[in-house]
Structure 1
Amino acid sequence: MKWYFAVNEHGLRYAWDQLQVTVNSALRNTQLKPFCLVDHGDKPAEVEARIAALAQAGVTIIEHRASLWPIVRAKHKLNSDTFSGHWLRCDIPMLDLSDEIVLYTDIDVMFRRNPEPFSQRPEFLACAPEHHQDDWSYFNSGVMLMNLTGLRATREALVRHVEDQIVNMAPHDDQGALNSVYHGRYDRLDLRYNWKPYWGFKDEATILHFHGPKPGVIHHYQMEDGDPLRFGAALYSIYRRNPEGYAKYMIEAGSYRRSF
C-alpha cells in the first residue's frame, strides 16, 4: 500500500526530528511504499539537502503547491507560507490516479508495526476520533485511510466549503474543512491506527500519533525544565493526562531519531 505524508519548508526546517522518527519507523517496521508531497517553491540549501536525504532513503518525492492554498493565503492576507503544508494532503486524490485506497499520516507519527493489510474500503475516509476514544462526532485527520475515487467525486464540495468558510477558519484548519464536508460520512478507523500517548501505553498500537505536544515539548515536560506552561496550558493539560504513556513511547521514538 502507498503511504503519503506531506511537508513544506517550515516542516523540513523545524520538524526534522519528527520526520526522522516517522520515516525511519516506517522503513524499519512496515512494507508501505512512502510518498512525500513537498510544497513547491524556492528552498534553502539545508531544506534541499533534507529532501535529497528522504529520496535517498527510498521516499518518492512529489513537489506540488496545494491547490487550495492560494484561497487560504488570500483570504487571511498572509505574507508567508508557514501553513501551506497542511493543505497538501487534500490534493492526494488529484495527484494519484492509479490507486483507489491509500494511507495518509501526518509527520508526527511512529509506526510500531506493519499496518497492512487494511480490510476496510471506506467510501471516502476512515479516521479515528480527535481526543476521546468514544467521541466519533469529529475525526482526527492525522491518520486517514483514503478512498481516492470517492474523494475525487466529492472534490467540488470541499473546494466550495473552503471558498465559503475560510474566513471563519484558521489558516491551518484543513481538518475542520474535511470534517465539515464528510461529517457523518466517514468510516471508523480502528483506534490502533491512530493511537495517542495520552490514551496510555498500548502494546497493540500500530501507529502512534504524537497528537498535541510533540517530542521536543514532551522532553521539556519530562525534564521539568522551567515553566511547564511555556508552550501553553492546553498542551501541558494534554500531557498531564498520561505522563507514563508519553514516557514509554518517547523511549521507543528515541531509537528512530537518526539521520537517513
Structure 2
Amino acid sequence: MVRTEPAVPDRAPDDLPPVVPTAAVTVLAALVTALLWVGVVANTLLAVLDPSVDGWIVAVRPPALVATAEVVTTVGQPAVMIAVLVAVAATAAWRSRSWEPLLLAAGALVVLGLLDNGVKAVVARPRPPAAWQAVTAHGLSFPSGHALWSAGALLLVVVLVGPIRGRGVITFVALAVVVAVTGSRLVLAVHYPSDVLAGWSLAVVADGLVLLLAAGVGRRRAPPVGRRGPAGSDM
C-alpha cells in the first residue's frame, strides 16, 4: 500500500516567518507607502494634517522633552541600528555555523538603503520649516531615515534571534526603541507624521522582500519530500 505524506505546511525554512502572511504584510505595507506617497505629492489624505500636527507639537513640547529627544535621536541614528543588526546577524551566524544570517542582514541593508535614498530622491519633499526644528537637519524629508532604519533593522533582529526564551521581551524592547526613535523625530520637528509612517512601511517592505527571497532560495535548495513505505523504503 502506498502511503502519501501529509501536506507540508506553508512555512519558510530555518525558522523564517511563514511565507503567505509575510507576503500579505509586505503587499499591505507597499500599499500604505503608495497612499502616503500620493498624499504628499497631491497634498491630500494624511499629508494635509502634517503641518498642523508638527505645529501643535512645537507649541506644546517642553524643553526637557526636547533634550530627551535629542539623546534618543542620536542613539537611534541609522549607523547605530545597522551596527546592532550586524552584531546580531554575526552572532546568529556563529551559533548556527552558517553564513545565512549575515547574508540575510546584508540583503536587508542593501534594500533598505535603496528604498531610503531612492524614495527620497523621487518624492523630494522638503523638511518642516527650519524655525520649528530643534536640531539642524539636512536632506529630504520623505521617508524618515531614522524610522526606516530603526524599524527595518530591529524587525530583522527579532527574526534572527529565532524562537528563543525571552524573545517576547526582545520584541517588546525593539518596538519600544522604534517608537521612541520615531517619536524623537516628531518632537524635534525634523519630519512630518507621513514621513515616519512611510519609514515604517518601507522597512516592512524591505524586510519582507528579503525574507521572501530567502524562503524561496531555501525551498529550492531543500531536498524533495519522498513517499516512503512502512519499512522506510520508497514505494
| Alignment TM-score, normalising by the size of structure 1 | 0.22
Whose strand fraction is larger, Structure 1's or Structure 2's?
Answer: 1
From the CA coordinates, give the structure whose radius of gyration is larger: 2
| Alignment TM-score, normalising by the size of structure 2 | 0.23
Greater length-normalized contact order (CA 8 Å, ≥ 6 residues apart): 2
